[in-house]
C-alpha cells in the first residue's frame, strides 16, 4: 500500500503527518537566520540618525491634538487595507473635510503612505495586531528592524552619534543665520523708513520755500518744520569728529550743536550737517549757511 493510499484510509495518520509537517515548518521559520542587505543596513542607520536628530515631538496617540476618531479610522484603514478618505466617509459617516484631515494624520504618523498620483495610498500596517502594537510602542513591529537594533546597531553607535551631533550643529547654525537675516531685514526696513521720512520732510520744506519765494504763500508753517530730536549716536559721532570744541575758534566753553544748513532752510539732523560751535560763534552765524 502506498503512502497516499494509507493516508487516504487513515485520517489519524494523516493528521499526525500534517501536524509534524507544521511543527517542522515552524521550527525552520524560527531558526531561519535574518540576513540584511547593505542597503537595508544603511536605510536603518539613516532612520536612526533622523530619529535621534529630529526636534519633532514623539507622537502621543491619546493626545487631544488627534481627532477623537483617529484610532477608529486607523482600524478601518488597516482592516480594509485601503488608504482612502472616501472609505472613512462611508464607514464612519463623516464629511469630506474631516475624513481628509484623518487621512493627513494617518499619513503623518506613518500608518499610510503619502499620496502618489492616481495610485492608492500604501497601508504600512498589515493587520490589527500590528496596529495595536503600533499604538502601544509608537512604531510598527518589524523583525528585520529588531534584528538590526539588537545585532548591528551597537557597531555603528559611534558613527551615528557623531552624525547626530553634526546635524544638530548644522541646525543651530542655520537657525542663527536665519535669525541674523531676519534682524538684518528689520534694520534695513527701519533705516529705509527713516530715510524716506527725511526725504519727504526735506522735499516738503523745499517746496514751501519755493512757494514763499514765488509769493504764493507768506511764510513757512512752523508746525511742519518742528525739529526732531537729534539721535544720541549722531551727537556722539559729531562730538568725536570735532574733538568736543568749537570748529570756528577752538573754544571748549558753552559748546552747542549747530546745523550747517539751518533747519529752517531744509537742513537735517544728519552727521554731515552738524558741527560743534561755541555760543558766541553760533550767535554770530545766526541763520546763515556754514
CA angle 58, 62, 65 (to 5 degrees): 75
pLDDT tens, residue by residue, 73-102: 999 999 999 989 999 999 999 999 999 999
pLDDT tens, residue by residue, 210-221: 887 887 876 555
Backbone angles phi, psi at 277, to 5 degrees: -130, 150
pLDDT at residue 22 greater than cutoff 80: no
- The percent of residues in the chain predicted with pLDDT above 90, rounded, is 33
Mean pLDDT of 253-274: 83
Q: Domains of the chain (ranges plus CATH)?
A: 3-166 (1.10.10.10), 232-285 (1.10.30.50)
> So what's the pLDDT on residue 201?
86
Model pTM score: 0.41
Task: Please give the C-alpha separations between residue 40 and each of 44, 192, 216, in angstroms, as whole numbers.
Answer: 6, 55, 86
CB neighbour burial string for 85-122, b if at least 16 within 10 angstroms, e if fewer: bebbbebeebeeebbebbbebbbebebbeeeeeeeebe
Q: Cell digits for 262?
A: 539751518
Q: Give the whole-angstrom CA distance, residue 124 versus residue 81.
A: 9
Comparing CA positions, the residue from 201, 179, 183 lying closest to residue 266 is: 201
Burial class (CB in 10 A: 0-12, 13-18, 19+), 176: exposed
Mean pLDDT computed over every residue of the chain = 80
Task: Please give the C-alpha separations between residue 277 and each of 12, 232, 251, 263, in angstroms, as whole numbers.
Answer: 121, 17, 8, 16
Strongest mean pLDDT among 47-61, 218-232, 240-254: 240-254
pLDDT tens, residue by residue, 234-248: 889 999 999 989 999
| DSSP per-residue string spanning the chain | --HHHHHHH-HHHHHHHHHHHHHHHHHHHHHPPP---HHHHHHHHHHHHHHHH--SPPP-TTSTTS-TTHHHHHHHHHHHT-B-HHHHHHHHT--HHHHHHHHHHHHHTTSB---BTTBPBPB---SHHHHHHHHHHSS---HHHHHIIIIIGGGGHHHHHHHHHHHHHHHHHHHHHHHHHHHHHHHHHHHHHHHHHHHHHHHHHHHHHHHHHTTSSSS--TTTTPPPPPPHHHHHHHHHHHTTS-TTT---SSEEEEESS-GGGT--S-GGGEEEEEHHHHHHHTTS--
Comparing CA positions, the residue from 39, 19, 23, 41 lying closest to residue 31 is: 23
Q: Give the whole-angstrom CA distance, residue 10 versus residue 79.
A: 40
Amino acid at each position: 500500500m502506498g503512502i497516499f493510499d494509507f493516508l487516504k484510509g487513515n485520517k489519524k495518520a494523516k493528521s499526525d503527518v500534517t501536524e509534524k509537517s507544521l511543527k517542522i515548518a515552524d521550527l525552520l521559520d524560527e531558526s531561519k537566520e535574518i540576513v540584511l542587505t547593505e542597503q537595508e543596513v544603511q536605510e536603518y542607520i539613516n532612520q536612526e540618525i533622523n530619529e535621534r536628530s529630529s526636534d519633532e515631538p514623539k507622537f502621543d496617540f491619546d493626545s487631544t491634538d488627534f481627532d477623537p476618531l483617529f484610532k477608529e479610522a486607523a482600524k478601518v484603514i488597516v482592516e480594509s487595507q485601503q488608504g482612502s478618505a472616501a472609505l472613512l466617509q462611508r464607514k464612519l459617516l463623516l464629511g469630506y473635510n474631516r475624513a481628509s484631515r484623518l487621512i493627513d494624520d494617518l499619513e503623518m504618523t506613518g500608518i499610510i503612505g503619502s499620496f502618489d498620483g492616481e495610485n492608492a495610498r500604501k497601508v504600512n500596517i498589515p493587520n490589527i495586531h500590528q496596529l495595536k502594537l503600533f499604538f502601544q510602542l509608537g512604531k510598527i513591529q518589524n523583525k528585520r528592524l529588531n534584528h538590526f537594533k539588537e545585532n548591528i546597531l551597537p557597531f555603528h553607535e559611534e558613527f551615528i552619534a557623531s552624525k547626530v551631533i553634526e546635524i544638530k550643529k548644522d541646525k543651530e547654525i542655520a537657525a542663527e543665520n536665519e535669525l541674523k537675516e531676519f534682524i538684518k531685514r528689520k534694520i534695513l526696513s527701519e533705516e529705509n523708513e527713516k530715510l524716506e521720512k527725511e526725504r519727504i520732510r526735506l522735499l516738503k520744506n523745499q517746496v514751501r520755500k519755493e512757494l514763499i519765494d514765488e509769493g504764493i504763500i507768506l511764510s513757512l508753517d512752523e508746525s511742519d518744520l518742528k525739529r526732531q530730536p537729534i539721535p544720541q549716536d549722531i551727537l556722539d559721532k559729531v562730538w568725536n569728529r570735532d574733538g568736543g570744541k568749537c570748529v570756528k575758534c577752538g573754544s571748549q566753553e558753552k559748546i552747542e550743536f549747530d546745523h550747517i544748513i539751518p533747519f529752517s532752510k531744509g537742513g537735517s539732523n544728519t552727521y554731515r550737517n552738524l558741527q560743534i560751535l561755541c555760543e558766541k560763534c553760533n550767535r554770530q552765524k545766526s541763520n546763515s549757511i556754514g
